[in-house]
Structure 1
Amino acid sequence: MQRLCTIGYGEATPARVIAALQAAGVTTLVDVRAVANSRKPGFSKGALSASLAEAGIGYWHLRPLGTPPAGREAARSGRPAEMRRIFAAHLAGTEPQAALAALTERAGREKLCLLCLEADPAQCHRTLVAEAVATQSPGMIVEHLHPA
């Protein structure tokens, strides 16, 4: 049975995220942020991909699966239902659907983990992405990792 992991780095350090990925046997981290920059040290695309490479973990940025600006604003403003509605409409688009298909295909071959900022998977769009993959992959289990 294949597993697709998710992880949020909001309350973690890069070292804690990498340790959680290694413990779960993740081969590639899939960055599902629309903008792969961060105010938290070590989580911008360049620094994160370099740290992951040192740990033997691949990095794949899937920008089309990031939340559009209006969805990010809704999430920051504490309107998760609105964020989910906005993201669902975004996910139905051509480019996000192509990215979702590529993600689904690759998730069937290797252990992937979706990354975003939000620590709580219930409040983050990465859970919606993971559920969409699981819906298209019978038997796929979604596992939420929590950096210790």
Structure 2
Amino acid sequence: MASTVRTIGYEGATLSGFLSALRRARVSLIVDIRAVAVSRRKGFSKNALASALREIGIDYMHLRGLGDPKAGREAARAGRMSEFRAIYANHLRSEAAQAALAEAIQISTRKSICLLCYEAESSGCHRTIVAASIARKTGLVIQHLSPDASSHVGSTFTAAA
């Protein structure tokens, strides 16, 4: 049974540093929660990433329903964080997001999952909101991983009920 839900962003990361962080944390499944699972960064688009993960024994799942809507991404990029959080909170109440969240919750109790999105800083990313929702429902501890091989594994905290 899992005790931790992890998150990671690949902004500024190399693929090798990203994969190393996942191996160090013993992640068994990446749950990609990007609305659009493509990237200009080599190796981080859906198919290429799934293939690289498979090579090191990590499974891949894309839960698009948990992706941040375009308006939320635009608000976050512009630094309008309260607007971003309001947009994402509204999205998270949608039927598609609730179904994807239920799936993530169910899987998180059986596997060592890591929620994936782009942003390096977890506090400005919707993956922290999703992780907190999972933690509240399951009692799991949240750990934010850093893909920088020179840093520690990441920060750990328990979500408030």
* 3-state SS of 1:4 partner: strand
1:84 paired residue number: 85
Distance 1:34 1:52 in 2: 20
What is the deviation of 1:11? Answer: 1.4
Q: Would you identify which runs of 4 or more consecutive aligned residues in structure 1 move more than 4 Å? A: none
Residue pairs, 1:97-108, within 5 angstroms: 97-108=98-109
Provide the residue aligned with 2:9 in structure 1: 8
Where do 5+ consecutive residues of structure 1 fail to align? none
- The yes-or-no answer on 1:143 pairing with 2:138 is no
For residues 80 and 109 of structure 2, the distance between their equivalents in structure 1, rounded to whole angstroms, comes to 33
- Aligned-residue offset at 1:42: 0.8
Task: Report the Cα distance in structure 1 between the residues aligned to 2:81 and 2:24, rounded to whole angstroms.
Answer: 30
The aligned residue for residue 57 of structure 1 is 58
Instruction: Give the partner amino acid of 1:67.
Output: D
CA–CA distance in structure 1, aligned partners of residues 82 and 121 of structure 2: 14
> C-alpha displacement at 1:115, in angstroms?
0.5
Aligned counterparts of 2:64 and 2:15: Cα–Cα separation in 1? 20
Deviations 1:78-127 (A, max 9, x none): 11221111000000011110110110011000100001000000000000
Q: Secondary structure at the match of 2:12?
A: coil
SS state at 1:143 partner: strand
How far the C-alpha of 1:13 sits from its partner, in A, is: 1.1
Q: Whole-Å Cα distance in 2 between the matches of residues 133 and 57 of structure 1?
A: 20
Select the structure with the greater relative contact order (CA < 8 A; seq sep ≥ 6): 1
Q: Distance in 1 between matches of 2:16 and 2:117?
A: 16
1:128 is aligned to 2:125: no
Task: Give the CA RMSD over aligned residues.
Answer: 0.8
Q: TM-score w.r.t. structure 1 length?
A: 0.97
Aligned counterpart, 2:156: none
Within 1, Cα distance between the matches of 2:73 and 2:119? 11
- Is it true that 1:46 corresponds to 2:43 in the alignment? no
Cα distance in 2 between the residues matched to 1:115 and 1:83: 18
